[in-house]
Amino acid sequence: MSIITKAALLKGPYDIELVEKELVCREDEVIVKNHLIGICGSDKNMYRGLMPPKTSEFRQDPKYPFELGHESGGTIVEVGGKVTDYKVGDKVMAFGWNNNYAEYFKSKTWQLQPVPDGLDLDIASLGEPVACAMHSGLNSGTQLGDTVVIMGGGFAGQIIAQCVKKKGAFKVIVVDVLDGKLQLAKKLGADITINSKKENVKDIIDELTKGVGADVVIEAAGTQESLNMASDIIKHNGKFVFYSWITQPVTLNISRWHDDGIEFINTCLVHHTWHHRYVWTFDALKPVQLGLIDIKSLITHQFKLDDIKAGFELADKDDAAIKVIFRP
Amino acid sequence: MSIITKAALLKGPYDIELVEKELVCREDEVIVKNHLIGICGSDKNMYRGLMPPKTSEFRQDPKYPFELGHESGGTIVEVGGKVTDYKVGDKVMAFGWNNNYAEYFKSKTWQLQPVPDGLDLDIASLGEPVACAMHSGLNSGTQLGDTVVIMGGGFAGQIIAQCVKKKGAFKVIVVDVLDGKLQLAKKLGADITINSKKENVKDIIDELTKGVGADVVIEAAGTQESLNMASDIIKHNGKFVFYSWITQPVTLNISRWHDDGIEFINTCLVHHTWHHRYVWTFDALKPVQLGLIDIKSLITHQFKLDDIKAGFELADKDDAAIKVIFRP
Amino acid sequence: MSIITKAALLKGPYDIELVEKELVCREDEVIVKNHLIGICGSDKNMYRGLMPPKTSEFRQDPKYPFELGHESGGTIVEVGGKVTDYKVGDKVMAFGWNNNYAEYFKSKTWQLQPVPDGLDLDIASLGEPVACAMHSGLNSGTQLGDTVVIMGGGFAGQIIAQCVKKKGAFKVIVVDVLDGKLQLAKKLGADITINSKKENVKDIIDELTKGVGADVVIEAAGTQESLNMASDIIKHNGKFVFYSWITQPVTLNISRWHDDGIEFINTCLVHHTWHHRYVWTFDALKPVQLGLIDIKSLITHQFKLDDIKAGFELADKDDAAIKVIFRP
Amino acid sequence: MSIITKAALLKGPYDIELVEKELVCREDEVIVKNHLIGICGSDKNMYRGLMPPKTSEFRQDPKYPFELGHESGGTIVEVGGKVTDYKVGDKVMAFGWNNNYAEYFKSKTWQLQPVPDGLDLDIASLGEPVACAMHSGLNSGTQLGDTVVIMGGGFAGQIIAQCVKKKGAFKVIVVDVLDGKLQLAKKLGADITINSKKENVKDIIDELTKGVGADVVIEAAGTQESLNMASDIIKHNGKFVFYSWITQPVTLNISRWHDDGIEFINTCLVHHTWHHRYVWTFDALKPVQLGLIDIKSLITHQFKLDDIKAGFELADKDDAAIKVIFRP
């Protein structure tokens, strides 16, 4: 069978529109009616003309026109003839790049996971980015009593900040260049926020820690400045947690990496096998299911899917937007 | 009491000489008669005018004139009035920057460790650089059957290559720009060597691993090129082992660090507390004590201490020199 | 479709026979023509009347009559209508308890894994027990230069001993009560073997290690005596690796577990999710694929499947038998 | 110099008294004026006639008469001629068995640690048992959202329960046989308490976790019953944290250890090298310094040192006593 859907096509930088296309469900595929779709930082990069390198073989080539979208979830409306693990009506979270800015998307079943019991479908539809950020916070090596700095107050940074606070961080410090993001971080429980355009981050951390430095720094801003600042404020033998995907070369001063015996923890959930991701995702979402992390407050802007141009324009211009979503 | 010794003074770039100085043994110090002193890569950098940033508070300022030298060992000839853990006649390895290009050097006792039972004093005098390299190899995460690339065939790289081979690496590949170092690596057990000036490293690794990439890459060359090459040849979810101290900013393409879920292991022995170093050093040297690692073949050039100028000139010009030592 | 096969039925202690049964392939199942089936220690226990507790919900109740058998592999001859990951002709390894003492067995696909490239089908058919033992050896924490004791020279112990030797153990010591097993261990590379019925294990380890104790002890014998001996011979802060499944209560002297800060590593491959097992199995078998571990020498006795009574009688009586297999 | 002190002598089971003895300060020793001394569980065992096995060579033989006591701290009043790391007036925590039920005790300097900045001397004098328990909680592998069971509501169990709650455990469950201890646990933040004499622990855990079991179980009761119960209530692939020192043989049903792939974490702080202990102790006490853990409420009974008989009688009879201390 097949379904006609509207779906986004990124024809070139700053040029996105909805087009009609037909989804034909193959025997090992399912078709999902979307509940909600979010704009990911990497989507925004592509919209702005920054294409990532081609990597995994199952991904489409990073070339315009590009069938954009991966952060979504919804309800299965059709299953291929050989699908055994899902049935029509099942609620699922998407973990593949399947042109998800659409009313319907098609997916191999290994690119999906069932929605965990009792998880709100608004949150579950953002299950992939939520799980990625939670996986980072949970595996950041944060210990009870630690001073933890999160570089970047975007969607991931806001989740990581909440996560490490709940894990017992004594002081959670969020660094960003936008006051709006910092205010939200504070509202969600950060102890201290720093606007790195206005204040000297190193001086503040030094004062807070009596010159020792932060126990853990989690880099979720994704810029050269942010990586260098992180390298500067970690304590001797402290932990540097990588989160961002940085697709352009950066110039880094890494002398302290060796000289101060920094420990590196690279936290990326979906960049392993799908078997790993399948197991780790349920662990990562457990605290969210238990209601310990506020996700709803991070959805700062909502659009109808039909207004996809307006949504991307806003996301491009208003860097204070945390998560922009579309509802079909 | 005091002892008059000749000791090196690095007066400026390419300007080193022996001067006379008096060592006065304070109550918590000992004086050691040197058995042998080696040139470290960081010594060579300073000789060439590349001063590292000032870091640990107990270190002298990285400014000319600089009292150079730290890789040595020998026999205690004098102990301060409050020293309880060492006595005259004890053989020790040095772990501090105490102007060790000298007949005698002075040290706090926490900057020393006793020579392990049965360890040859030529090797024990290089205990610090040997332990550092062994610590890296032992903690590199190399598993039986792995393909392991070591970037850099210097003193550390040669030891790490032997160590991972003995740990069960299936293919050990040493990459350098000098054929002399590569020949030595081969002689000491490396399976494959690659001169990265003459051959395409990525192509060779791809062919060897059927396009998968290396399980583990250990960076012991310390250049921007080497770091970028390492980033390029590690397999998806492979291990990137940091070893070098890189004191100058470098421009890196780190897109794969996130996108391929690379695991980072930062292996530096002496950049933690001295308590850690004390415990870890004995573990790191155990395989050397057991005779499993050939250290003697790495001492490629010997000089009398009096010929310190000639020794440094050779080390500067002949990049194929692995370890240049001086005997007082 | 369906296939008639002969398959073993364990009707009670010491009472096994082949019966005819019909395998009906459901839509998510496949039918496999067996290449070879091995007797597992747990099979032997059930044959002797020692039933394990019921645990996983998907397993049949541990009651007579019991449809025995799980160590096998072969070629898929039929696939259910909804199977997408396997096709007729694929070679597979079995990871489920599916009455595998048979000409044909039926399995859900998640209980199978494809045979890795180039792996001999005799070995691949023992893929489950081989992978379990390799997983233990690879994850035993054995470091280059270690003294490692393996308690038990059965199929697993023989593989673990080879594995840790190849990982750089300096001395590999195999302990058993049967000289035949110890001779085989020696032939396959163990440095030292001890018959614990004839010699004092603790005295020998103390002498070998100058009273320090073994760095790592891997318990693969599965008896109370063996667990207590292991507890006794590990060094202060050494590693205790659990491997055996011990289904009966045991009386243990565990004072040293705390007082000597023993580190525990529990190594069991198939007792996690099938997702974990799927990923870990390929890692565990890699050294076997590379030809680093001798598995063929461990197949000490072969029978035709029709002679299943004789095979079990031999396994029961001749404790020196390492792996008894049946060929359909 | 020397100091005359009163100090406890355990002459036999249930037979303790203060005797006079002279402390002669050797050149590598210091004499400490005690601030406070606590009764440790192992002290109580010895008082009751249960002597542990002799282990570390530096410990006195476990024979009556025994010079009891190790949990204390105070102020240095005398330093030996070769002591460089401490001076008269320094506040220290004791980490050695130096007959500390006394007005003064004598110690090698490596058996001491300085009191961390700002730590109350009542707490610092219990620095050893506090650090041991905190080390266990901090390293228990407890993750945000976990259900954690602590077996035993004694001094250690009460600290561990607080620690894991602050680390983000969703449900902290304390199990004991005494209602008084359970009431205190509740007051200090435990979510649920179970009197295992009155209620079925397994049933309650099953109900709480929908049959899954506890994510983490920390054994701090030290009995055969407690170990077996712990083995029973951990989830498949859950974490079993050893804390207690169990000096008598125990009969254990360990079938699930293998069959359910339990992960073991052995947490003992002072049973490694003193170098490890020195570093780890400061980490373990950090949350206490920050005021995150209530220690004062655990000091349930105070005596004058002169009333040592009465103090031990109470500790022996009133199992609800958490920490009994003496003030010289």
pLDDT digits (tens, 9 = 90+) for B104-145: 999 999 999 999 999 999 999 999 999 999 999 999 999 999
Classify residue D186: in a domain, yes or no: yes
Pair (D175, D93) in one structural domain: no
Mean pLDDT of B222-231: 98
Pair (B92, B11) in one structural domain: yes
Classify residue A281: in a domain, yes or no: no
A287 touches chain D (CB under 8 A): yes
Residue A52 has pLDDT above 90, yes or no: no
Pair (D170, D88) in one structural domain: no
Q: What is the mean pLDDT of chain C?
A: 96
Which residue range forms the structural domain that includes residue C144?
A: 134-266
Which of B217, B249, B266 finishes a domain? Answer: B266
Instruction: Please write the tens of the pLDDT for every residue from C83-136.
Output: 999 999 999 999 999 999 999 999 999 999 999 999 999 999 999 999 999 999
Determine the pLDDT at residue B57: 61
Closest residue on chain A to D134 (Cα): A144
Pair (D198, D242) in one structural domain: yes
Residue D272 has pLDDT above 70, yes or no: yes
Interface of C with D in 53-92 (CB under 8 A): 53, 55
Classify residue B209: in a domain, yes or no: yes
Determine the pLDDT at residue C319: 79
Instruction: Please write the tens of the pLDDT for every residue from C32-57.
Output: 999 999 999 989 999 999 888 876 66
Classify residue C277: in a domain, yes or no: no
The answer to whether residues C15 and C51 touch, using CB atoms and an 8 Å cutoff, is no
Letter string b/e over residues B262-301, b meaning 16 or more CB atoms within 10 A of that residue's CB: bbbbbbbbbbbebbbbebbbebbbbbbbeebbebeebbbb
CA distance B307 to chain A (A): 31
Mean pLDDT of A22-41: 96
CATH code of D224's domain: 3.40.50.720
Which of D266, D282, D311 finishes a domain? Answer: D266
Classify residue A259: in a domain, yes or no: yes
A41 touches chain D (CB under 8 A): no
Q: What is the mean pLDDT of chain D?
A: 96
Pair (C140, C259) in one structural domain: yes
* Paired residues of A324 in beta bridges: A301
Q: What is the mean pLDDT of chain B?
A: 96
D160 touches chain A (CB under 8 A): no
Total H helices, total E strands in chain D: 10, 16
Determine the pLDDT at residue A228: 98
Residue partners of C30: CB distance under 8 A and separation at least 6: C76, C78, C79, C80, C83, C86, C92, C106, C107, C109, C112
Best mutation target among A28, A82, A273, A280 (most C Cβ atoms within 10 Å) is A82
CA distance A80 to chain C (A): 9
Partner-chain contact D244 C253, CB within 8 Å: no
Closest residue on chain C to D54 (Cα): C259
Pair (A76, A45) in one structural domain: yes
Instruction: Please write the tens of the pLDDT for every residue from B262-302.
Output: 999 999 999 999 999 999 999 999 999 999 999 999 999 99
Determine the pLDDT at residue D2: 87
Residue B54 has pLDDT above 90, yes or no: no
Classify residue B176: in a domain, yes or no: yes
Report how many domains make up chain A: 2
Q: Is the dihedral of CA C107, C110, C114, C119 positive or negative?
A: negative
Nearest residue to A78 (alpha-carbon basis) of A111, A106, A37? A106
What is d(CA C154, CA C107) in angstroms, rounded to the nearest whole number? 28
Pair (A105, A142) in one structural domain: no
Determine the pLDDT at residue A57: 61
Residue D52 has pLDDT above 90, yes or no: no
Query: What band does D319 get if pLDDT is binned at 50, 70 and 90?
Result: confident
Determine the pLDDT at residue A40: 94
Residue D247 has pLDDT above 70, yes or no: yes
* Paired residues of D17 in beta bridges: D9
What is d(CA A94, CA A92) in angstroms, rounded to the nearest whole number? 7
**Whole-number Cα distances in Å, B100 to B299, B305, D76, D83:** 18, 11, 37, 27
Pair (B173, B99) in one structural domain: no
Residue partners of D242: CB distance under 8 A and separation at least 6: C257, C258, C264, D219, D264, D265, D266, D267, D268
C116 touches chain B (CB under 8 A): no
Classify residue B168: in a domain, yes or no: yes
Residue A265 has pLDDT above 90, yes or no: yes
Classify residue B40: in a domain, yes or no: yes
CATH code of D299's domain: 3.90.180.10
Partner-chain contact D271 C237, CB within 8 Å: yes
Pair (B106, B142) in one structural domain: no
Question: The whole model's pTM is what?
Answer: 0.96
Pair (D20, D82) in one structural domain: yes
Residue labelled with tokens 């922009």: A324
Pair (B81, B204) in one structural domain: no
Pair (A146, A76) in one structural domain: no
Residue D56 has pLDDT above 70, yes or no: no
